[in-house]
């Protein structure tokens, strides 16, 4: 198997993991509030990566490097991304959140062109719009809508989507200086610190600190938090950071929409939701968009291979 195929398999695995995370997140939120869920999520994630590092099984190799640059990426994602998303969903619906998050590849393409000087063809630009359009079309046909009256929630969700795009560009930029493991470690550490601090302060001010441990008594919550903590946070971050070190940020960004497609199909398979014609039409646009965005990358890789031969 060629390295190029491995890269795209990692990207597809990333999309598959984040797609199923929606189901498990819904289970966790049925037991705990968003901030406490995020605190548990990143506690599991950070411990999962800290233990092998502390035991010496894995070497980070950060000595002599500008660690503050890693802290910057962790500030944008997961800290600011999830914070804006959590508070945005207080004022807006989850369907509105899904529609707005689909815009992330557009933000990524613009930021990558400006900061990374990534050049995109008209085919790639149209493919990004097709992918975004596929997600929006499915959600609209399911009855979702954008309620402009929820301006506060919409603004926060847009900021959340922008933070995801900034992360993609930063991770791509830092991939020449840091490994995927080093970037992921910083992300999990910042998520652990930020969300545990928010959770503890929130419970302390309300005098409900003992309630912080209540969710772990629920077996469904434990299973859900293990999935979103280990797979959806840690493993997906490792995959994302690895792929971003190999392909352009604009190419990787469209796999976020594949994750949305997976979550919709998961609802059909596991929640017995109806598979309608608009799911198929939307899926064609999403998958076609992914193929179109990455077409130039495959062609350029082939040309490079011929030139070096």
Spatial distance between the Cα atoms of 95 and 277, rounded to a whole number of angstroms: 19
Return the sign of the alpha-carbon dihedral for residues 112, 118, 121, 127: negative
Mean pLDDT calculated for residue range 240-253: 89
Q: Collapsing DSSP states into helix, strand and coil, what is residue 2? A: coil
Q: Regarding predicted confidence, which is higher, 182 or 303? A: 182
Q: Name the DSSP letter for residue 213.
A: G
Q: Regarding predicted confidence, which is higher, 269 or 149? A: 269
Does 286 map to a domain? no
Spatial distance between the Cα atoms of 67 and 4, rounded to a whole number of angstroms: 30
Does 300 map to a domain? no
Mean pLDDT of the chain: 84
- Residue 267 contacts by C-beta under 8 Å, 6 or more apart in sequence? 23, 273
% of residues, the chain, pLDDT over 90 = 39
Spatial distance between the Cα atoms of 221 and 2, rounded to a whole number of angstroms: 40
Mean pLDDT calculated for residue range 223-236: 94
181: containing domain = 3-123+146-276
Measured CA to CA in angstroms, residue 130 lies from 3, 96, 107, 209, 273 at distances of: 27, 19, 15, 47, 25
- C-alpha triplet 173, 174, 178: angle, nearest 5°: 155
Does 294 map to a domain? no
Does 113 map to a domain? yes
- Write phi, then psi, for 146 (nearest 5 degrees): -100, 110
What pLDDT, on the 0 to 100 scale, is given for residue 21? 83
What pLDDT, on the 0 to 100 scale, is given for residue 292? 84
Q: Regarding predicted confidence, which is higher, 53 or 301? A: 53
Overall domain count for the chain: 1
Return the sign of the alpha-carbon dihedral for residues 154, 160, 161, 165: positive
Query: Is the bond into 78 cis (omega within 30 degrees of 0)?
Result: yes
Q: Regarding predicted confidence, which is higher, 69 or 230? A: 230
Measured CA to CA in angstroms, residue 31 lies from 37, 102, 218, 243, 273 at distances of: 9, 27, 8, 34, 23
In this structure, are residues 32 and 203 in contact, taking their beta carbons and an 8 Å threshold? no
Q: Collapsing DSSP states into helix, strand and coil, what is residue 166? A: helix
In this structure, are residues 292 and 270 in contact, taking their beta carbons and an 8 Å threshold? no
Does 287 map to a domain? no
The residue among 121, 87, 132 whose CA lies nearest residue 290 is 132
Does 131 map to a domain? no
Does 138 map to a domain? no
Q: Collapsing DSSP states into helix, strand and coil, what is residue 186? A: helix
Provide the residue count of the chain: 309
The residue among 238, 111, 108 whose CA lies nearest residue 183 is 238
Does 305 map to a domain? no
């Amino acid at each position: 198997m060629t390295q190029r195929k491995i890269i795209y398999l990692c990207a597809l695995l990333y999309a598959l993991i984040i797609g199923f995370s929606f189901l498990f997140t819904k289970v966790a939120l049925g037991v705990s509030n968003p901030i406490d869920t995020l605190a548990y999520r990143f506690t599991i994630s950070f411990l999962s990566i800290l233990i092998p590092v502390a035991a010496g099984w894995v070497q980070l190799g950060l000595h002599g490097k500008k660690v503050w640059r890693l802290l910057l990426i962790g500030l944008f994602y997961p800290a600011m991304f999830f914070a804006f998303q959590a508070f945005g969903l207080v004022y807006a619906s989850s369907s509105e959140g899904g529609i707005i998050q689909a815009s992330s590849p557009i933000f990524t393409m613009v930021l990558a062109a400006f900061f990374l000087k990534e050049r995109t063809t008209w085919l790639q630009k149209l493919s990004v719009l097709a992918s975004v359009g596929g997600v929006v079309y499915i959600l609209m046909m399911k009855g979702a809508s954008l309620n402009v009256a929820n301006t506060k929630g919409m603004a926060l969700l847009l900021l959340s989507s922008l933070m995801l795009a900034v992360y993609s560009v930063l991770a791509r930029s830092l991939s020449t200086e840091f490994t995927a493991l080093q970037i992921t470690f910083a992300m999990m550490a910042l998520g652990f610190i930020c969300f545990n601090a928010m959770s503890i302060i929130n419970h302390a001010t309300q005098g409900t600190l003992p309630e912080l441990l209540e969710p772990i008594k629920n077996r469904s919550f434990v299973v859900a938090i293990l999935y979103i903590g280990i797979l959806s946070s840690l493993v997906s971050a490792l995959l994302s950071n690895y792929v971003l070190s190999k392909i352009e940020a604009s190419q990787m960004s469209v796999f976020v929409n594949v994750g949305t497609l997976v979550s919709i199909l998961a609802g059909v398979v596991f929640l017995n939701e109806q598979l309608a014609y608009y799911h198929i039409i939307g899926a064609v646009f999403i998958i076609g968009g992914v193929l179109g965005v990455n077409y130039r990358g495959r062609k350029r890789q082939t040309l490079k291979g011929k030139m070096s031969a």
